[in-house]
Amino acid sequence: MTRLLVVDDDAQLLRALRINLRARHYDVDVAPDGATALSVAARFTPDLVILDLGLPDMDGVDVVRALRGWSSAPILVLSARVAQAEKVTALDAGADDYVTKPFGMDELLARIRSALRRATPADSLPIVRTEAFTIDFTAKRVTTDEGEVRLTPTEWHLLEILVRNPDKLVSQRQLLREVWGPAYETETNYLRVYVAQLRRKLEPDPSRPRHLLTEPGMGYRFQP
């Protein structure tokens, strides 16, 4: 079975999630704080982590960073924090998605399924090469003639979606939904900022991109 780790200091919520997720045939481990979460994750290697940011012993963002030091399992942040800056901080630290409390169980289950699908290795595109950069999906590495390029988890996720759809227009709404979640489908400024960052890191001339193209008002396209 797919193994989930749920981290939350709310004992009632933790119990409810464990019951609901086990009823959907997930194998569920739980932890009430960050230290326990890291210990459990090291012992049992979860396929996905559901993590509250407001933990009693450490900030959830620090738990995300610690997990990202050795684990590539999707991290779904679950939190009552609604400030946009805090969400972006969690995502850039390595979280894959963000669900704001209170939430519906159906939405949470959909986010879990989506994150697990994205985490499933795709064999069709192990390596993609362009004139400017090379992407190794297996190793999750991007290199140019100058060497390896460090991407944030959000930048990688955005680039991966575009590259897995070569020459196809990917709409703004689809990108926002898949990278940041359904609540961000109108936040087009996110895309402008992150695509600009990718161009600065990957395109020889970011002002005249050859591979990461904008379709004004519609979306973005990867041209190999």
pLDDT in tens, 153-202: 889 989 988 988 888 888 888 888 888 877 787 889 999 999 999 999 99
Number of domains present in the structure of the chain: 2
pLDDT grade, residue 138 (50/70/90)?
A: confident
Question: Cα separations (Å) of 178 from 9, 102, 116, 138?
Answer: 28, 21, 12, 20
| Predicted pLDDT at 120 | 60
pLDDT at 122 over 70: no
Residue 209: pLDDT over 90: yes
131 and 216 together in one domain: yes
Average pLDDT over the chain, rounded to an integer: 88
Q: Do 69 and 164 have their domain in common?
A: no
pLDDT number for residue 94:
84
Inter-residue contact 47 to 80 (CB < 8 Å): no
Beta bridge partners of residue 148, listed in sequence order: 143
Same domain, yes or no: 139 and 79: no
- As a whole number of angstroms, the distance between CA 58 and CA 2 comes to 27
Indicate the residue among 71, 97, 119 that finishes a domain. 119
pLDDT at 148 over 70: yes
Tens-place pLDDT, residues 102-119 = 888 998 998 898 888 777
What CATH code is carried by the domain that includes residue 101?
A: 3.40.50.2300
Task: Tell me, yes or no, whether 64 and 161 share the same domain.
Answer: no
For position 167, what pLDDT does the model report? 81
Within this chain, do residues 143 and 171 fall inside the same structural domain, yes or no?
yes
Residue 123 predicted with pLDDT over 60: no
Q: Rounded mean pLDDT of 116-125?
A: 62
- 107 and 156 share a domain? no
Q: Is 48 exposed, middle or buried (0-12, 13-18, 19+ CB in 10 A)?
A: buried
Question: 11-25, 38-52, 86-100, 208-222 — which is least confidently predicted?
Answer: 86-100
Q: In the chain, pLDDT over 70 holds for what percent of residues?
A: 95
Which tens digit of pLDDT belongs to each residue from 53-87?
989 999 999 999 899 888 888 999 988 866 677 77
Same domain for 96 and 198, yes or no, is: no
Q: Which domain holds residue 152?
A: 127-222
Contacts of 74 (CB under 8 A, 6+ apart): 47, 48, 49, 96, 97, 115, 116, 118, 119
CATH number of the CATH domain containing 143:
1.10.10.10
